[in-house]
Structure 1
Amino acid sequence: MSSISTQSPDPLGASYVNEDLNNPPVTSPSLEGFQRDSDIWFEDGNIIVIAQSTAFRFHKSVLASHSQVFRELFSVPQPSPNAGESEAIDGCTVMYVSDTGYDFRELLRAIYRGVSYLHPEQTISFPILAALARLGHKYQLDQLLDAVIFRLQRTFNTDLEVWDRSRGFGADSPLGLVPNNAIEALNLFRRLQRPDMIPTALCGCSRLPPAVLIHAVDRADGVARESLELTDLELCWKVQKRLIYEAVDQMTLFSEYFVTRLAEVKCQRRDYCIEGLKILLQETRRGMSYLAFVDPLDKFSSIFESDDAPFSKRLCRDCLAVLKSRHWELRKKVWGKLPDIMGMSITGWGS
């Protein structure tokens, strides 16, 4: 259930007390110690909401029209500011929410800017989408939540081709994902009860160093922190171990395919490619210990596509295409195993 604080929060945002929405919100006589938000502060607004140390002034009807939770919250009778000591500012009741200022700001921006904010062609970073998903779920803004999930599914998908196009947690991810975002993503998808989006996030977590997994990581607001539940931490290590096995097995099969290819090379540069395959086979076998640190779901784009990559330098275009196809098959096999590796059953996974 959504929550709202019935106590004035620590101005530094150190802690927040979640109470049931049935309790009426408290009011405050001034904004001393709080900062007005530079974006969401409308002089004709009729409600002031404080999240962490930031105050937002906006229109009740705008948020209430999108959320049944806020509609019920705002319907709670408020004390008159003229009855004895002032309990409002400029005629606006002051209420406190337990959300971070960052999350609540992004929620109001999305509500006020409407369709343009979540337009399919609009670039939106993962931290913003995560903020909108958290509050969209918490305050039951179903249309907003559906739009956000649609955007997130462009990356966290059941289809390996979609995952490849999104670049996953790569440096050029359209969502601006960084490896540490995997923890926030996993926690978010658990909260949203989206098992179809969990495997990719869990894979991201399993590639993080133990020190990062054990300790909490900062969210984009620099205040809130994300850490894994103990069960997910244990699962990460289990998945990490299995993916190491899959990586070695995958590259063993891949190198063995070099031998098969050596016997069937039928290209215009046969002698050149045979020599190249022999060298690649030797290098792969020598570097097998390194493969324990390779992500079996990675496209190995640097190996296949870079100008100075060993594969592109030693094979002709036709032979390179054949090896890419074989590598795709091996990656697809690992992808299909992910739910089972994670102890999950996901209808339609990989199809």
Structure 2
Amino acid sequence: MTMKSPSPPPPAANSSSDADSSRLIVSDLWYSDGNLIIETADSLFKVYSGLLAQKSSVFRDMFSFPQPNENARDIPTVRLFDQSDELTWFLKAILDPEFFEPPPSTSDLSIVGGILRLSAKYDVSFLRKRALLHLGTTYPSTLTAWKRRDIHRSIPPLDNTPFAVLPLVREFDITWALPAVLYCLCSYTVPQIYDGVDWRERHITINPEDRRRVLVGRAELVYLQTKLSARFLRHSPHSDCTSPSECIEQRRKWLNEASGWDVADPLDYLDVNWDSLEADLCLACFTQSRSDTEETQREIWDKLPLIFGLPSWTELKMLEEEAMNPH
């Protein structure tokens, strides 16, 4: 089937059997030669049933039965009870290859969430996988990917986004992303964790079970961050240090600045000014300090699931593999 560019219908279309004047025609998804009308509570789409059936087993089964108003002259019409904005994104992702590309192309959390929801409902596996890939660029299951998330993230960072991501992760059992999401929530203040925050003009709170996980985990992360600071400060100069007293002083000075960071974030806590520290320490001390810090951060990352009362990384990664490559 050749798909033509969508075009708005002529004014008379609203009064024809193709449309209902009480609903808004979505012009981007109203194809002049479409052979199926989809209606929601407030929107109308004219699309290609064959393409939808090809991508979705649910649509394929749905279209195998005659629709109630189907006759020789009318275009078949299907009523769906999804949110119009989510259905718009979902249909665009199927019909327009450029609308929802995998990373590194960027997207939006609302779009990712809407497509994730409907791809699960209508069994469109390639879109579900694509949505999971987008979430994984910011909430990964490896420390290497975590360290590079600011470079690779495909969902632009917005204030309080982890609060909006957590319900998605819970709704669709994206358990392998939970350690990273809960870790991000630990960087918020206790009142924010208790009371919730505003995100895109709506208030979001954490469910009681996860709120407890975050508060308990936050206390543990603050302890580990303090322990990391003490280890960094007490570290003796390297045996090849060229200026021991200067390196000790610079280390203390730099740590005092880093100690002003009032969030629980030991994975990034000492990463803020490595370039500056490299200029202040001799090469031997800098190399040793960075190596020791990275080793400690690996230990913390390995403990994250335990800190939040979750299955081990081994189990979580098995779940991720099954979701990304279903048999």
Structure 2-normalised TM-score? 0.77
The equivalent position to 2:225 in structure 1, one of 247, 268, 278, is: 247
Contact in 2 for aligned 1:49/1:56 (Cα 8 Å): yes
Distance 1:225 1:49 in 2: 32
Residue 42 (structure 1) shift? 1.2
Contact in 2 for aligned 1:205/1:213 (Cα 8 Å): no
Who is 1:31 aligned against?
Answer: 21
Distance 1:52 1:206 in 2: 40
Distance 1:91 1:322 in 2: 72
Superposed CA deviations along residues 248-280 of structure 1, whole A, max 9, x for unmatched, are 1221222222xx22xx3424xx22x63142243
The equivalent position to 1:72 in structure 2, one of 45, 61, 67, is: 61
What letter is aligned with 2:226?
V
1:266 equivalent in alignment to 2:266 = no
The equivalent position to 2:88 in structure 1, one of 105, 108, 123, is: 105
Change (3 A) 1:107 1:350: closer
Superposed CA deviations along residues 42-82 of structure 1, whole A, max 9, x for unmatched, are 12223333456443321222222222222333344323367
Local SS of the residue matching 1:301: coil
1:211 equivalent in alignment to 2:199 = no
Distance 2:272 2:57 in 1: 50
Distance 1:60 1:114 in 2: 17
What letter is aligned with 2:263?
F
Change (3 A) 1:301 1:287: closer
Distance 2:272 2:37 in 1: 52
1:42 equivalent in alignment to 2:31 = yes
Contact in 2 for aligned 1:336/1:349 (Cα 8 Å): no
Local SS of the residue matching 1:208: coil
What letter is aligned with 1:206?
C
**Structure 1, unaligned runs of 5 or more:** 1-26
Who is 1:293 aligned against?
Answer: 263
Residue 154 (structure 1) shift? 3.6
Contact in 1 for aligned 2:217/2:307 (Cα 8 Å): yes
Local SS of the residue matching 1:167: helix
Who is 1:198 aligned against?
Answer: 178
Moved more, 52-61 or 63-72: 52-61
Local SS of the residue matching 1:335: helix
Contact in 2 for aligned 1:48/1:92 (Cα 8 Å): yes
Distance 1:134 1:216 in 2: 23
Superposed CA deviations along residues 80-138 of structure 1, whole A, max 9, x for unmatched, are 3679xxxx9x7352523233x33222211211134884355533344433332222122
Distance 1:286 1:66 in 2: 54
Who is 1:189 aligned against?
Answer: 169
Distance 2:294 2:315 in 1: 17
Aligned pairs, number: 300
Change (3 A) 1:55 1:212: farther
Distance 1:301 1:286 in 2: 12
Identity over aligned pairs, percent:
23
Who is 2:310 aligned against?
Answer: 344
The equivalent position to 2:142 in structure 1, one of 136, 149, 159, is: 159
Distance 2:148 2:258 in 1: 28
Superposed CA deviations along residues 166-200 of structure 1, whole A, max 9, x for unmatched, are 129xxx84431334221232222222222211110
**Structure 2, unaligned runs of 5 or more:** 1-16, 318-327
Distance 1:147 1:82 in 2: 38
Distance 1:44 1:225 in 2: 43
Distance 2:47 2:287 in 1: 57
Residue 225 (structure 1) shift? 6.8
1:284 equivalent in alignment to 2:255 = yes
Moved more, 338-347 or 181-190: 181-190
Who is 1:237 aligned against?
Answer: 215
Who is 1:131 aligned against?
Answer: 114
Superposed CA deviations along residues 25-45 of structure 1, whole A, max 9, x for unmatched, are xx997232x332232221222
Structure 1-normalised TM-score? 0.72
Distance 2:173 2:253 in 1: 46
1:59 equivalent in alignment to 2:40 = no
**Superposition CA RMSD, Å:** 3.4
Local SS of the residue matching 1:297: coil
Distance 1:232 1:350 in 2: 17
